[in-house]
Amino acid sequence: MPPLTELPSDIARDLREFTIEVPSWAYGNSGTRFKVFGTPGTPRDPFEKIADAAQTHAFTGSSPRVSLHHPWDKVEDTAALRSYAEGLGVQLGMINSNTFQDDEYKYGSLTHSDPAVRRRAIDHHLECLAVMREAGSHELKIWLADGTNYAGQDSIRARQDHLADSLAEIYAGLQEGERIVLEYKFFEPAFYHTDVPDWGTSLLHCLALGEQAMVVLDTGHHAPGTNIEFIVAQLLRQGRLGAFDFNSRNYADDDLIVGAADPFQLFRILFEIVQQDAHRPASGVNFMLDQCHNLESKIQGQIRSVLNVQETLAKALLVDREALADAQARHDVLEANAILMDAFWTDVRPALAAFREEQGLPADPFGAFRASGYEEKVAAERVGGNQMGWGA
C-alpha cells in the first residue's frame, strides 16, 4: 500500500479525541525480580514524576492524564499535587491500590482467612477512595497479587467468598459517578492459583457488585495464544470494559512498550474496539499504559508507546468497514482478511506527521523530545535524594 499523506476528516477527529492515560510508576526506576536499575534524572518525588509525564503530553498532545499509585505516590497534600499537575497541562487520573508489598499480605489481602488482615486491606481501599476524590479523579483500580502456590494450601471457595465480601464493602463506599475497575492476571506472583485469574472471574464479581464496577484488561495478563480481541468484544458487549492497559509481552507480564512484540495483535485489538466505537470518549473506556522501562529512557519509552497506539489506531480506523461487512456476508474469507491486511500494511506515518503539525505539535514527537535537552537538564538538577521506584 502507498503511504497515506493525509488523514480523512473523520479519522483526524477521532484521533484528536482519543487520549491515553500514562502511569506515574513508568517514570520511576524499575527492573526485574533480581535488580531495579537507577538512571540519572529519575524523579525523587511524585511532583517530579508529574513533571516528566507532562513532557509526554506536551510532545504527543494525547496523554493528558497521569495514573497514581497509592501509597507509592502518597503526598501530604494531594490537592497541591493536583494543582501542580494542572499547571503543567495534565490531570491526575486513576488511583491504583497496593496490597502486594506489606508483610501482612503474604498469604492474601482481600481474600485472607484472617478478618483483621482483610479489614486492613479494605480500609486501604477506602483510603484510596478519599485520595481519588482529592485528586479530582473518579476511578479506583484494584489489582490483587492474592493466590496460592500449592494445592491444598488454602480453600479456593473460601477465598472467593472473602473477596466478594471485601469488594462489596469497598463498592459501598463509592459515590455517584465513581467506579472501581477490577484487574485480572492469570498468574504471578501466585503460581498454583490466582484469586482473580481471568476476565470471567473479574466480570462475575463486577456483575454481583453493580453498574459502578467494571473490568480492566491488561494485554500482558493472558496465557500465550489467548485471543484478546475476543475478550474485548465480550466485555464491550456487556458494557463492562472499564479500562484497557496497553503494553506488550513475549512470555508473561513483560510490561514492554506497546506493540513491540506483536504489532498485528495490537491492530486486531484496536479494530475490535473501533468496530464498537469504544475508542470514542463517550464509551467510558479509559485507555492507559501500564509499562515499566527497565533499560530504556522512561520518557522516551512513554512517548514511543503513545505514538505506537496512535499509529495503530489510525490503521484500524482505515478499515473499510462497509466492504468488510459485505465480504463477511458473502462468506468471502480471503477478501475479508485482505481488507483488514490492506489497512494494517498502510504506512500512516506521513499523514500523522501532517496531522500533528496542524495541531501545533512536532511532526516527530519522539525526535523532538530527544533534541529538547530535557533529560540532560533534569539529570543535572536532580542530584541527591532518593530516586523513586518500586515500593517508593
**pLDDT 10s digit of each residue in the chain, 392 long?**
789 999 999 999 999 999 999 999 999 998 877 888 889 999 999 999 999 999 999 999 999 999 999 999 999 999 999 999 999 999 999 999 999 999 999 999 999 999 999 999 999 999 999 999 999 999 999 999 999 999 999 999 999 999 999 999 999 999 999 999 999 999 999 999 999 999 999 999 999 999 999 999 999 999 999 999 999 999 999 999 999 999 999 998 989 999 999 999 999 999 999 999 999 999 999 999 999 998 999 999 999 999 999 999 999 999 999 999 999 999 999 999 999 999 999 999 999 999 999 999 999 999 999 999 999 999 999 999 999 987 54
181 contacts: CB under 8 Å, gap ≥ 6: 94, 139, 140, 141, 142, 213, 214, 215, 216, 242, 243, 286
pLDDT for position 391: 57
User: 355 lies in a domain?
Assistant: no
Alpha carbon of residue 285 to chain centroid: 11
**What are 87's three cell numbers?**
499547571
Angle made by CA atoms 326, 327, 331, in degrees to the nearest 5: 120
Terminal C-alpha separation, the chain: 48
DSSP letters spanning 51-73: HHHHHHHHHHS---EEEEETTTT
Strands of 113-189 (E only): list them. Answer: 139-142, 147-148, 179-183
Beta pairing class for 241-246 and 286-289: parallel
> For position 203, what pLDDT does the model report?
98
Radius of gyration of the chain (CA): 21
CATH of the domain at 53: 3.20.20.150
Residue found by looking up cell 527497565 in the block: 294
Question: How far apart (Å, rounded) are the C-alpha atoms in residues 354 and 348?
Answer: 10
Distance CA 64, CA 192 (A): 39
Cα(37)–Cα(29) distance, integer angstroms? 6
Distance in angstroms (rounded) separating the CA atoms of residues 66 and 90? 7
In whole angstroms, give the CA distance from residue 260 to residue 292.
Answer: 13
Tell me if 60 is assigned to some domain: yes
Question: 3-state DSSP helix/strand/coil percent for the chain, to nearest 5?
Answer: 45, 15, 40
Helix (H) / strand (E) element for 362: namely: none
Residue 172 belongs to what domain range?
A: 18-319
Q: Are the beta carbons of 140 and 128 closer than 8 angstroms?
A: yes
Q: Which of 221, 293, 288, 219 is nearest to 257 (CA)?
A: 293
CA distance 146 to 155: 13
Question: Would you mind telling me the total number of residues written for the chain in this entry?
Answer: 392
pLDDT value, residue 33: 72
pTM across the whole model: 0.96
**C-alpha span between 353 and 363 (Å, rounded):** 4
Q: Is 387 a domain residue?
A: no
With respect to residue 353, please indicate whether it lies within any of the assigned structural domains: no
Whether 268 is covered by a domain: the verdict is yes
Domain total of the chain:
1
**Extended beta strands in 103-200, E state:** 139-142, 147-148, 179-183, 193-194
Going by their DSSP bridges, the two strands 193-194 and 241-246 should be labelled as unpaired
- Rounded to whole angstroms, how far apart are CA atoms 98 and 73? 11
Residue 238 resides in a domain = yes
| Confidence (pLDDT) at 305 | 98
Q: Per the domain annotation, does 301 fall within a domain?
A: yes
Cell of 208: 454481583
- Cell numbers representing residue 369 in the block: 523530545
How many angstroms separate the Cα of 370 from the Cα of each of 81, 303, 357, 365?
27, 10, 18, 9
As given in the structure block, the three cell numbers for residue 258 are 506497546
Domain annotation covers residue 315? yes
